[in-house]
Chains A and B, each alone.
Chain A
Amino acid sequence: AQKITQTQPGMFVQEKEAVTLDCTYDTSDPSYGLFWYKQPSSGEMIFLIYQGSYDQQNATEGRYSLNFQKARKSANLVISASQLGDSAMYFCAMSELDRGSTLGRLYFGRGTQLTVWP
């Protein structure tokens, strides 16, 4: 079973509008971390935001916020006031923290290609 599911292959948003990128995850580990990364066409993977499974509040970093719904196992990324430079591939990832053999490794989804148009 996929540990991270991103169901939107592509999303389009107009500049200055907000956009939500969906992510659902699957784990039986009570302790885990959720990440979003941005990958522009140049290829580097840029860290955006992190949410721990025990964090009470949703994470925010500037224009990025993570809508964490633990019961639904979803961790959607919200980008407010989109900019042309936000056009990139976005990956959701998870790290399980209690499983001895898989400690630390990130499980990635297939990504969502976001295009911001003027």
Chain B
Amino acid sequence: GAGVSQSPRYKVAKRGQDVALRCDPISGHVSLFWYQQALGQGPEFLTYFQNEAQLDKSGLPSDRFFAERPEGSVSTLKIQRTQQEDSAVYLCASSSRLAGGRGTDTQYFGPGTRLTVL
């Protein structure tokens, strides 16, 4: 596709439910990032994939959060046993270059998934 797509755009979950958020990066982009944006805040880094390898998951707030990118394209962020503090917008971004290569590369963001946990 032309840009990064995410689904669903909105998700309402009852506390304790598991949710899965999907990200389709720009075709051919090797780097994929997940960010969490709480209301009124800037996005916070969650995790980074280089192709199918998850190279950095230091931003995941708890072991209830899990991300995968098994074939190096589509990624899924899963949250188990959701809590109210998980309510946020989850943004996915992709870029065409390997992170850390000489010269950085722009990250292009999807529209986000707004998760509300009741």
Known: A104-B31, A106-B33. A44 touches B111 (CB 8 A): yes
**Which of A4, A50, A91, A111 makes the CB contact (< 8 A) with B106?**
A50
* B42 CB–A CB distance under 8 Å: yes
Q: Which stretch (A13-21, A69-77, A95-103) binds chain B?
A: A95-103
Q: Interface residues of A toward B: which range?
A: 20 to 34
Residues of A at the B interface (CB closer than 8 Å) are 4, 32-33, 35, 37, 42-47, 50, 52, 91, 93, 95, 97-98, 100-111
18 residue pairs from A and B, CB less than 8 Å apart: A37-B109, A43-B111, A43-B112, A45-B93, A46-B109, A52-B104, A91-B42, A95-B104, A97-B100, A100-B100, A101-B58, A103-B99, A103-B100, A105-B99, A107-B45, A108-B43, A108-B44, A110-B40
